[in-house]
């Protein structure tokens, strides 16, 4: 039996390396203590980590982290509290290849400087029988000796900030701190599905994950099976990055990006650039003010990831950021387009026993209102459709089918139209699909216009040019847009102060029956706020699509409805309109049976 009490793997970093390390106070709040200690446990190879928080009436009284990792020898247990003592790197060069969560050797020293820490540890698998106990208070070693201890490490932190009253005063309420800890651990759990985590606050179990090779199990434990049902897998492998994980169907979205979890090399990070790339990958599948739920794990060459930019290592700097961001955006788009995204209507939770959606997640904004009687009837569709509708349909039919495309959706058979808006159809005999005729046709038209290449935008001259007056501000905006508009077939020319002459409009807008349409289009153009910068072509195309598509409220014949349905099957993205609203929703036979309590 070797005496491991004398073997050390912790070294004190030399001053040059210390200077290279992004210095900073890592302990600003209780959650930072949890973060550092849990990361140490992960680095120690723990398979199971338990976190216990005890609180008094108004503050967190103690934090205890217990792991079954490699543990420390007697000498390392003492060294660990020395500033810049670490077993994880030795030289400056090592900063280029960080494979561990920690590397600065600062955390234990900083935590012990502002609290009372009791460390109990015994090295794993070395045959050392006695463990070591070290008590450090305000940075001073108070007690040390042998003790009975299981293999692994236990760190108990009490009296946090007892000697730094200013920092203590800045602490938020106890519940805020606990919710921070909770959120932090969610991210860590997701980045490490292979470790079992258990969080208890005041002996109450808060968060539990099981060891699993599958992140989906972790997601299910934390967010519930209702969320898992809405996820689709993402996977892409390039020489410099491997992307894997899950993203939500557009039917599950949130008003903020807080549930977009990103792990880079198993480090849970926040990266505005990556968050944006994921969101961009949805393109028009989501409205601009909504965010998906996503759990992406990125394996990136360690040389391309600099974690040494922020004391808490929450932010990272990426070399090749453009390539990385583009790969992520593409992987998201590919995943979305290869899945069937029609929102399924599930029975209300009280009927099916499905747990209700948490917080503000929406299921495609669909609400049941069983109390309001239907105010529309299903039309028999014998009404002769208007000439305009036929022309609008022909417009989109003529240009599709040039290239034989694969249909994205199975054949649907129209039953009828409801309320002059919704087309009812069956799909594969066991599903009922409701299609928003305007949204669907708008999508078809949009793809047609955006798919055309420059110069291919036929325009039609107006016999009598339309005169437009705008305010000075609007005129200025419009003036900037004239070249972009001309490319899409709108020919406008300046005609005196804040006045324009419209000479020609795109053919897709059809015969101009009413000049107010032009006025509306221009109003859309100059008013659309630019919260998310969309390029001019995109904006103009969306507006053309919206204005040129069959309106809601237009009664269509069954044959016309069938034509819309046939066309939407071939859209590249048949699931949402260009603004991100759904084009269709469906009820499966089984769901209907549940709603009617036939099961």
By rule CB under 6 A, what string of x and - marks binding of each residue 88-127 to ligand ADP? x-------------xxxxxxxx------------------
Q: Which is nearer to ligand ADP, 153 or 331 (CB)?
A: 153
Distance between CA atoms of residues 80 and 141, nearest Å: 12
The region of 84-92, 311-319, 336-344, 495-503 touching ligand ADP under the rule CB under 6 A is 84-92
40 binds Mg ion (CB under 5 A): yes
What phi-psi label fits residue 498: left (phi over 0), alpha (psi between -120 and 50 degrees) or beta?
left
The region of 86-94, 340-348, 383-391, 499-507 touching ligand ADP under the rule CB under 6 A is 86-94
Q: Which residue is nearest to ligand ADP (CB)?
A: 102
> In the block, which residue shows the tokens 């179990």?
205
Three-state DSSP at 405 gives coil
Q: Which tokens sit at 583?
A: 């084009």
Distance between CA atoms of residues 39 and 53, nearest Å: 17
By rule CB under 6 A, what string of x and - marks binding of each residue 229-268 to ligand ADP? ----------------------------------------
By rule CB under 6 A, what string of x and - marks binding of each residue 144-163 to ligand ADP? ---------x----------
Q: Which is nearer to ligand ADP, 18 or 486 (CB)?
A: 18
Q: Which tokens sit at 80?
A: 């660990």
The region of 66-74, 216-224, 300-308, 443-451 touching ligand ADP under the rule CB under 6 A is 66-74
User: Which residues neighbour 349 within 8 Å (Cβ) at sequence distance 6 or greater?
Assistant: 355, 356
Q: With b meaning 16 or more CB within 10 Å and e meaning fewer, what string describes 508-546? A: bbbebeeeebbeebbebbbeeeeeeeeeeeebbbbbbbb
Q: What long-range pairs does 134-137 form, CB within 8 A, spacing at least 24?
A: 134/77, 134/78, 134/81, 136/81, 136/112, 137/112
Out of Mg ion, ligand ADP, none, what residue 70 binds, judged by CB under 5 to 8 A for its kind, is: ligand ADP
Query: Could you say which DSSP state residue 109 is in?
Result: H
**Interface with Mg ion (CB under 5 A), residue from 69, 102, 131, 250:** 102
The region of 106-114, 177-185, 237-245, 505-513 touching Mg ion under the rule CB under 5 A is 106-114
What phi-psi label fits residue 283: left (phi over 0), alpha (psi between -120 and 50 degrees) or beta?
left
Q: Which is nearer to ligand ADP, 132 or 557 (CB)?
A: 132
Strand-pair partners of 491: 504
Out of ligand ADP, Mg ion, none, what residue 201 binds, judged by CB under 5 to 8 A for its kind, is: none
Whole-angstrom CA distances from 308 to 98, 174, 185, 405 are 9, 31, 21, 49
Out of ligand ADP, Mg ion, none, what residue 105 binds, judged by CB under 5 to 8 A for its kind, is: ligand ADP
Q: Which is nearer to Mg ion, 11 or 457 (CB)?
A: 11
131 binds ligand ADP (CB under 6 A): no
Q: Which residues from 5-64 bind ligand ADP, rule CB under 6 A? A: 10, 36, 40-41, 44
User: Which residues neighbour 492 within 8 Å (Cβ) at sequence distance 6 or greater?
Assistant: 468, 478, 482, 485, 486, 500, 501, 502, 503
Out of ligand ADP, Mg ion, none, what residue 10 binds, judged by CB under 5 to 8 A for its kind, is: ligand ADP
Three-state DSSP at 571 gives coil
Binding site for ligand ADP (CB under 6 A): 10, 36, 40-41, 44, 67, 69-72, 80, 85-88, 102-109, 153
Binding site for Mg ion (CB under 5 A): 40, 102, 107
């Amino acid at each position: 039996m070797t005496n491991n009490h004398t073997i050390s793997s912790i070294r004190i970093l030399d001053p040059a390396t210390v200077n290279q390390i992004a210095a900073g106070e890592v302990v600003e709040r209780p959650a930072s203590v949890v973060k550092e200690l849990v990361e140490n446990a992960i680095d120690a190879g723990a398979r199971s980590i338990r976190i216990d928080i005890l609180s008094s009436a108004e503050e967190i009284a103690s934090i205890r982290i217990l792991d079954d990792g490699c543990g420390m020898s007697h000498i390392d247990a003492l060294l660990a509290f020395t500033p810049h003592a670490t077993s994880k790197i030795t030289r400056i060069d090592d900063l280029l290849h960080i494979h561990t969560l920690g590397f600065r050797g600062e955390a234990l020293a900083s935590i012990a400087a502002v609290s009372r820490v009791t460390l109990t540890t015994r090295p794993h698998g070395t045959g050392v029988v006695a463990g070591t106990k070290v008590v450090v208070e305000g940075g001073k070693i108070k007690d040390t000796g042998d003790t009975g201890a299981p293999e692994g490490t236990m760190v108990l932190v009490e009296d946090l900030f007892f000697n730094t009253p200013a920092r203590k005063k800045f602490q938020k309420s106890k519940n805020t701190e606990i919710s921070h800890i909770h959120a932090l651990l969610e991210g860590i759990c997701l980045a490490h599905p292979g470790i079992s985590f258990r969080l208890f606050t005041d002996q109450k179990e808060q968060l539990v994950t099981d060891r699993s090779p599958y992140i989906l199990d972790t997601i299910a434990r934390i967010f519930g099976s209702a969320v898992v049902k809405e996820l689709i897998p993402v996977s892409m492998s390039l020489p410099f990055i491997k992307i894997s994980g899950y993203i939500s169907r557009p039917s599950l979205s949130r008003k903020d990006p807080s549930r977009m979890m990103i792990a880079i090399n198993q480090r849970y990070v926040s990266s505005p650039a990556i968050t944006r790339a994921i969101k961009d990958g949805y393109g028009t599948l989501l409205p601009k003010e909504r965010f998906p739920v996503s759990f992406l794990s990125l394996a990136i060459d360690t040389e391309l990831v600099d974690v040494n930019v922020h004391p808490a290592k929450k932010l990272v700097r990426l070399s090749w950021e453009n390539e990385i961001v583009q790969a992520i955006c593409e992987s998201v788009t590919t995943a979305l387009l290869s899945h069937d995204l029609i929102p399924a209507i599930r029975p209300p939770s009280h009927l099916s026993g499905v747990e209700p959606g948490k917080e503000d997640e929406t299921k495609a904004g669909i609400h049941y209102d069983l109390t309001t009687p239907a105010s529309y009837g299903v039309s028999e569709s014998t009404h002769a459709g208007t000439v305009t509708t036929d022309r609008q349909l022909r417009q989109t039919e003529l240009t599709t089918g040039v290239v034989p495309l694969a249909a994205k959706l199975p054949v649907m058979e129209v039953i009828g139209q409801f309320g002059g808006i919704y087309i009812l159809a069956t799909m594969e005999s066991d599903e009922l699909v409701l299609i928003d005729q305007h949204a669907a046709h708008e999508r078809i038209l949009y793809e047609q216009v955006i798919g055309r290449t420059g110069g291919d935008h036929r325009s039609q001259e107006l016999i009598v040019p339309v005169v437009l007056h705008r305010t000075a501000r609007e005129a200025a905006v419009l003036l900037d847009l004239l070249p972009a508009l001309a490319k899409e077939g709108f020919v406008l020319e300046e005609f005196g102060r804040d006045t324009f002459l419209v000479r020609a409009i795109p053919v897709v807008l059809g015969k101009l029956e009413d000049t107010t349409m032009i006025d509306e289009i221009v109003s859309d153009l100059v008013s659309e706020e630019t919260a998310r910068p969309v390029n001019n072509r995109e904006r103009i195309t969306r507006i053309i699509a919206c204005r040129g598509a069959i309106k809601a409220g237009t009664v269509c014949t069954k044959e016309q409805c069938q034509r819309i349905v046939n066309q939407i099957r071939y859209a590249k993205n048949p699931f949402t309109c260009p603004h991100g609203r759904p084009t269709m929703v469906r009820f499966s036979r089984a769901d209907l049976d549940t709603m009617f309590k036939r099961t």
